[in-house]
Structure 1
Amino acid sequence: MPAPADPPPALCVEELGVRYGSLQALDSVSWTVSDGEILGIIGPNGAGKSSSFAAVTNSVRRSGTVSLYGSTVDGVATHRLARRGLRRTFQQNSFYSGLSVLDNAAAAFTVVDGVRLAGSLCTPWREVSRRRRHRASARALLAEFGIGAKYQQMYPDDIPYGLQRCLSIVLAFGAGARVLLVDEPAAGVGGQDMQNLAELLGELRGRGLAVVLIEHHMDLVMEVVDRLVVLDRGQRIAYGEPEEVQRDPAVLEAYLGRVA
């Protein structure tokens, strides 16, 4: 009997292109990431890293093809991609500032398991039960990722900054995430907070999530990623295992302005 075909990658990006007026932000960039893997995307400022996330989530006009578990998602609205399990974080924290940490997390579950207005009006007891279930799930999820009960009733802006960065990832993970795009989570953190982020990312990989990480802190990148994409001026200049990419002359030139 023929050997079973390998499953498709969680996310496959082929010939991705983005143009802002006369600026070619991305030019024919391709990569894949699989379940239980962390793919890093690095490059100098202006290399096209964040444009990659915007393009993958159909937040900007683009060319190329993006497939989620073998199904093309070109033209699928960003919020529908989130419902299919493709989620992202942003460089800046984004919370419901008037809600507690716990209520922010509960809202992440509501996005996936919400209820129509008619259902709320006709069967309000079901909505009450649903909200209670979301809060219980949110409380457990926060605790699992190190955001304990003493922080859960606080407003997000009042908890330590390192925890805010972790909270952004936890909220994006929420319920039903399968592929998570994480944009510079270590911005503004260091020391133990950096290690906590590394452990959080490792925990997500251990749960079988496919993670794509944009990050400038190379110590964090080299600790957690399985493969690396290097972008420079919108083009992919290196792609492979971290140790191999680190030795690539094109990468050294992009970062250091010289060839080794």
Structure 2
Amino acid sequence: MRATANAGEILSVSNLTRIFGGLTAVRDVTMTVQAGEVVGLIGPNGAGKTTLFNMLGGSLPPSSGSIRFDGTDCTGAPSHVMGQRGVSRTFQITSLFPSLTALDNVRSAAYRTTRAGWGAAILRNAAYRWEEAELRRKALEILAFCDLDHRTDTLADSMSYGEQRRLEIAIALAAEPRLLLLDEPAAGMNPEEGQRLVEMIRRIRARGVTVLLVEHHMRVVASVCDRLVVLDHGVKIAEGPPAHVLNDAEVIRVYLGREPVDA
């Protein structure tokens, strides 16, 4: 897996805006993510978090503003270009190949990193055979990293919900990202699965991958994030360490209710 530099700005968003007809879903959002950080993006439903994610991942062009990844302007770049540059993502609803095994799901994502080309695939020459063996080795390693090595030959639609969420993360990691976007990875998980997810995100960061996640589970957010960015009605209203943000009066008013969250 490719490693991200240990220091420096990897993502810079400036005045990012997305308008749908008469609705402004995201308005003038400016934020940065440092290499090696875990940053949480939080806020009430409809705050614009997924819209912002969609712009960062390349599935939705911004109406205005700019996105720079690793110093390069990639504003409006489509998702396959963002993937090539080192940005992978997961989705709120799991996006798997249900009739494929866990191993083949991960292998399918790892093909983006191959070099042998279609000619070698047709001829099935030595370079192709070596690369296929390497893809299998890599997929097995990622499955083990995500605690799914016991599910290698299990069909995706036969796995538990928590396992499917971890498999989607494994698929994203197979593309060798430098920045991993996780969209509500703890959704539907029980407390034990949520704690396992926290530990996995820490291991992902330890391997040199920067993480930006949208999440509603505040215990997960407080446990794993270095910084939080809070959106409300498409506008950034707070940013900072979890202990500060989760006890901010405005954040409590618009999102958390009246009970502060211990970080």
Query: Structure 1-normalised TM-score?
Result: 0.91
Preserved CA contact (<8 Å) 1:9 1:69: yes
Runs of at least 5 residues in structure 2 that lack an aligned partner in the other structure: 1-5
Q: Hey, what does 2:185 align to over in structure 1?
A: 185
Instruction: Describe the SS at the equivalent of 2:83.
Output: helix
Task: Report the Cα distance in structure 2 between the residues aligned to 1:98 and 1:160, rounded to whole angstroms.
Answer: 14
Structure 2 residue aligned with 1:208:
208
Structure 2 equivalent of residue 3 of structure 1: none
The count of residues paired between Structure 1 and Structure 2 equals 254
Cα distance in structure 2, aligned partners of 1:26 and 1:166:
29
The residue identity in structure 1 corresponding to 2:147 is G
The secondary structure found in structure 2 opposite 1:24 is strand
CA-atom RMSD, angstroms? 2.0
- Tell me which amino acid in the other structure corresponds to 1:9: E
TM-score by length of 2: 0.90
In structure 1, distance between residues paired with 2:97 and 2:35? 30
Report 1:94-105 matches (<5 A). Answer: 94-105=95-106
Q: CA–CA distance in 1 between the matches of 2:139 and 2:124?
A: 23
* 1:140-184 per-position Cα deviation (integer Å, ceiling 9, x unaligned): 121122112x31100111122111111111110114210000000
1:110 aligns with 2:121: no
> Could you say which residue in structure 1 is the equivalent of 2:3?
none
Counterparts of 2:20 and 2:66, CA distance in 1: 18
Measure the CA separation in 1 of the matches of 2:162 and 2:112.
25
Give 1:74's aligned residue.
75
Q: After superposition, where does 1:24-103 map in structure 2 within 5 Å?
A: 24-62=24-62, 63-103=64-104
Q: What do residues 224-260 of structure 1 show as CA deviations (whole Å, max 9, x unaligned)? A: 00000000000000011111112222212212577x9
- Please state whether the residue corresponding to 1:27 is helix, strand or coil: strand
Whether the 8 Å contact between 2:7 and 2:36 is mirrored in structure 1 is no
**Can you list the C-alpha shifts for 1:83-118, whole angstroms capped at 9, x where unaligned?**
111111001111112211001111121022254333
Identity %: 37
Task: State the 4+ residue runs in structure 1 displaced beyond 6 angstroms.
Answer: none
Deviation at 1:53, TM superposition (A): 0.7
C-alpha change, 1:256 and 1:220, in structure 2 (3 Å) is closer
Q: Given that residues 7 and 35 in structure 2 are in contact (C-alpha distance below 8 angstroms), is that contact kept between their aligned partners in structure 1?
A: no
Contact preservation (8 Å) 2:58, 2:78: yes
Q: Distance in 1 between matches of 2:160 and 2:256?
A: 34
Cα contact 1:8–1:70 (8 A) shared by 2: no
Shift of 1:121: 2.6
**Matches for 1:84-233 after TM superposition, within 5 Å:** 84-113=85-114, 115-122=116-123, 124-148=125-149, 150-233=150-233
